A and B are shown apart, each in its own frame.
Chain A
Amino acid sequence: MENNMEDCWELAGHKFHSRFILGSGKYSLKLIEAAVKDAGTEIVTLAVRRANTQDKENILDYIPKQVTLLPNTSGARNAEEAVRIARLARAMGCGDFVKIEIMRDSKYLLPDNSETIKATEILAKEGFVVLPYMYPDLNVARDLVSAGAAAVMPLAAPIGSNKGLATKEFIQILIDEIDLPIIVDAGIGAPSQACEAMEMGAAAIMANTALATAGNLPLMAAAFKEAIAAGRKAYLSGLGRVLVRGAEASDPLTGFLHD
């Protein structure tokens, strides 16, 4: 930033500079380190699953130590299951952060907002830094604030769809009305879409599939990093106005050669 002002954001008192939260699903462990580095990310999401002894490799060996781990509760179908997964994640000793993800629908993978509020309340009381993934609804977002969420994570489009800001109008309402960081999660498929969400005033972007399905994952991570930084600067600047109709010259209106 100019004038040396730090442009950072916070989750429950933890300060972050990067506004890009990276998912670690659906790609090779060997690419994670490069993705984290090229994305400049400080937060990486993980899933909690039954362990087996066939997988010899530990994903944590591929994530730089300074990165904050954000386990999700994927697989949870209700608040009770999400709370169970969050507690197990914390028992692994990698911090108190949790992304609540509760779905009862395996076709569209839409979050269950009411169960998400219940899980947020329970886990926030237990000292977790709770980041609930939700369908963008202002009333639900307000309930999540009351329940003790550290941020709100509205979906842009169905998970894994790469369709972009399908819920743009409703995310904007959350950004305008909710006093917590709004992290746009799910559906962001291209850097231009991440940039647009940042221009709207989102605090951060979370992406996984956009990178996992890209031609060159580390290169796409770098592209997202630049797009998110560009969108953030545009938001801080304030976008230029849009004319309702007509045109307005950018050039002087005097001194024409035909005068």
Chain B
Amino acid sequence: MVTINGKAEQAAGRSIAAWLEAAGYGGRMIAVEYNGEIISAAQYPQVILHDGDVVEIVCFMGGG
């Protein structure tokens, strides 16, 4: 299992790009941290998820 935003997801074997697209993040303004490292959008298709990986996907929201 891959932990994505704190939830266990069946995502091993897919690229980050493929997972983001399938999950509905296509075209969204987000930033992605993969095992503690920020990765650029250009890297999303190249990074393949493995069991035990931890991914954070963030976006901007209203705030002070």
* A complexed with B: yes
Which residues in A have their C-beta under 8 angstroms from that of B28?
51, 58
Closest beta carbon of chain A to B61's beta carbon, Å? 5
13 interchain pairs, CB-CB under 8 A: A24-B64, A47-B63, A48-B60, A49-B61, A53-B25, A58-B59, A59-B60, A71-B60, A89-B31, A91-B32, A159-B64, A206-B64, A208-B63
- B61 engages A91 (CB within 8 Å): no
Chain B nearest CB, measured from A24 CB (Å): 4
Q: Is A91 a contact of B38 with CB atoms below 8 Å?
A: yes
Q: A91-B31, A92-B30 are in contact. Are A47 and B60 (CB under 8 A)?
A: yes
Q: B49 to chain A: closest CB distance in Å?
A: 17
- Is the pair A25, B29 in contact by a Cβ cutoff of 8 Å? no
User: Which chain A residues in 101-134 approach chain B with CB under 8 Å?
Assistant: none
Interface: B58 (CB within 8 A): yes
Interface residues in B15-64 (C-beta closer than 8 Å to A)? 23-25, 28-33, 38, 40, 56-64
Among A50, A71, A89, A93, contact of B57 (Cβ-Cβ < 8 Å):
A50
Assess the A92–B60 pair: CB atoms within 8 A: yes
Query: Which residues from B are CB-within-8-Å of A49?
Result: 58-59, 61
A47 CA to B58 CA in the complex, in Å?
Answer: 10
Chain B contact-residue range equals 20 to 34
* Cβ proximity bits A33-51 to B, threshold 8 Å, 1 near / 0 not: 0000000000001111111
Interface residues of B (CB under 8 A from A): 5-6, 23-25, 28-33, 38, 40, 56-64
Which 7 pairs of residues, A with B, have the shortest CB-CB distance? Answer: A47-B63, A23-B64, A208-B64, A53-B24, A91-B31, A51-B59, A24-B62
Task: Tell me if A88 and B33 are in contact (CB < 8 A).
Answer: yes
B53 to chain A, nearest CB (A): 16
- Name the contact of A51 in the complex, choosing from B30, B38, B40 (C-beta under 8 A): B30
* A47-B62 in contact (CB<8A): yes
Given A50-B6, A51-B5, A88-B38, is A60 in contact with B63 using a C-beta cutoff of 8 Å? no
Q: Please tell me if the beta carbons of B63 and A72 are within 8 angstroms of each other in the complex.
A: yes
Q: How far is the CB of A3 from chain B (nearest CB, A)?
A: 36
The chain A residue sitting closest to B59, CB to CB, is: A51
Task: Tell me if A11 is interfacial: C-beta within 8 Å of chain B.
Answer: no
Chain B positions within 8 Å of A72 at CB level: 63-64
What residue in chain B is nearest A72 (Cβ atoms)? Answer: B63
Q: Give the Cβ gap from A28 to chain B, nearest Cβ, in Å.
A: 9
Contact status B58-A50, CB under 8 Å? yes
Q: Indicate the member of B30, B58, B63 with the most A CB atoms within 10 Å.
A: B63
Give every chain A residue within 8 A of B6 (Cβ-Cβ).
Answer: 50
Please give me the residue from chain A that is nearest to B23 by CB atom: A53
Q: Which of A38-89 contact B (CB under 8 A)?
A: 45-53, 55, 58-60, 69, 71-72, 74, 84, 87-89
Considering only CB atoms, which chain A residue lies closest to B27 in the complex?
A58
Contacts of B56 in A (CB 8 A): 50, 88
Question: In the bound complex, how far is the Cα of B20 from the Cα of A25, in angstroms?
Answer: 26
- Chain A: minimal CB distance from B30 (Å): 5
